[in-house]
Amino acid sequence: MQIMNTAVSFLGVKFKNPVVLASGILGVTAASLKRCIDLGAGGVTIKSLSLQPRTGHHNPTMAGYEHFFINAVGLSNPGVTEGIKEIKKFKKLTRAPIIGSVFAGTVEEFGEVTEQICKAPIDLLEIDISCPNVGDEFGCPFAYSIEAAVAITKEVKRRSGGMPISMKLSPNAWNIGAIAAACEQAGADAITAVNTAAGMTIDVDFQVPVLSNKFGGVSGPALKPIALKSVWDVKQSVKRAPIIATGGVTTGEDAIEMMLVGGTLVGVGSAVFWRGPKVFGTIVKEMEQYMKRKRVTKLSSIIGKAQRV
Ligand SMILES: Cc1cc2nc3c(=O)[nH]c(=O)nc-3n(C[C@H](O)[C@H](O)[C@H](O)COP(=O)(O)O)c2cc1C
């Protein structure tokens, strides 16, 4: 029988497999995050937290289609103080890694919310500078600009007390590679690629945009080729920073593709809506089938392999 090792190490944190719940999909509660671990996820990411609680946008905020999902939830969350309580509860339930996530409207606020969440028992921290759905409030995402991304990276590193930081980037930035490299130079330990892509859908009967916010973030299978190219570009551009490759991963082979272009961890979000919360274990099983077929004994050995052409 072939021995198969699916474990990966990410900035020194051990994950039993690379499949992690992406931010924003199953909220912040310890129980729902722990359930993902029970159902096979290697780790989880909490919904992005802000300094103060937020209600988000009015309904409709989400719509599902055959090949994609669009949302403009508007970063609704209970605020960092409540989020920290759930993180502490999660860590009492399991030793599995948990990735914190924060967002803010200004550089200073990013620093403040980072300082607060870094007191919680998280294993690393993702900085969401790439949400496309809050333009009315914050203008265009910080992840579209090298200067803004660098300023936030420096500030969060200064106030993170040594916590490893992953900057979450946008597939809408044509120069995502250059932005990733600049974040790394500014101190980022890792890169998460990618957040949703800006988009919209129209209700032809009512002749209006479907979402109350008009625009939203596109996720799911339609995002995958865009995410793969983004991860490829990031991998080409950074020196050492490992990547949390996210966007449209629905099957084990999708996750393998993400690792082949350079992902060490693979984020899974919208697939939960299509395949249910058991999707984490299912994807891992499908990855193991690939390992068997291709005689791969260590999953980590395929990271970035498609780049060697
Ligand atoms: C309903 C919903 C809410 C999301 N909320 C967040 C969030 O709070 N913070 C964040 O960084 N990303 C958020 N995302 C983006 C996901 O983490 C992920 O990057 C994106 O959906 C692409 O992955 P997927 O195709 O597997 O869903 C959200 C996505 C969806 C669908």
Phi, psi of 54 (to 5 degrees): -135, 140
pLDDT in tens, 20-72: 999 999 989 999 999 999 999 999 999 999 999 999 889 999 999 999 999 99
Q: Output the CA 21–ligand 1 centroid distance in Å.
A: 10
**What is the structure's pLDDT at 27?**
85
Q: Whole-angstrom distance between the N-terminal and C-terminal Cα of the chain? A: 31
Full-model pTM: 0.97
Residue with tokens 């999707």: 279
pLDDT in tens, 220-255: 999 999 999 999 999 999 999 999 999 999 999 999
Q: 204, exposed or middle or buried, with CB in 10 Å at 0-12, 13-18, 19+?
A: exposed
Buried b (16+ CB within 10 A) or exposed e, 156-192: bbebbeebbbbbbbbbbbeebbebbbbbbebbbbbbb
Confidence band (pLDDT; 50, 70, 90) for 2?
A: confident
**What is the structure's pLDDT at 10?**
98
Residue with tokens 């607060």: 116
pLDDT in tens, 269-300: 999 999 999 999 999 999 999 999 999 999 99
Residues with CB under 6 A from ligand 1: 22-25, 47-48, 62, 69, 71, 73, 75, 101, 128, 168, 195-196, 219-220, 223, 246-249, 267-271
Active site residue 131: yes
146, two tokens: 């090298």
| Ligand 1 nearest atom to the CA of residue 48, by list position | 8
| Ligand 1 nearest atom to the CA of residue 23, by list position | 17
Q: Output the CA 221–ligand 1 centroid distance in Å.
A: 13
Is the pLDDT at 118 greater than 90? The verdict is yes
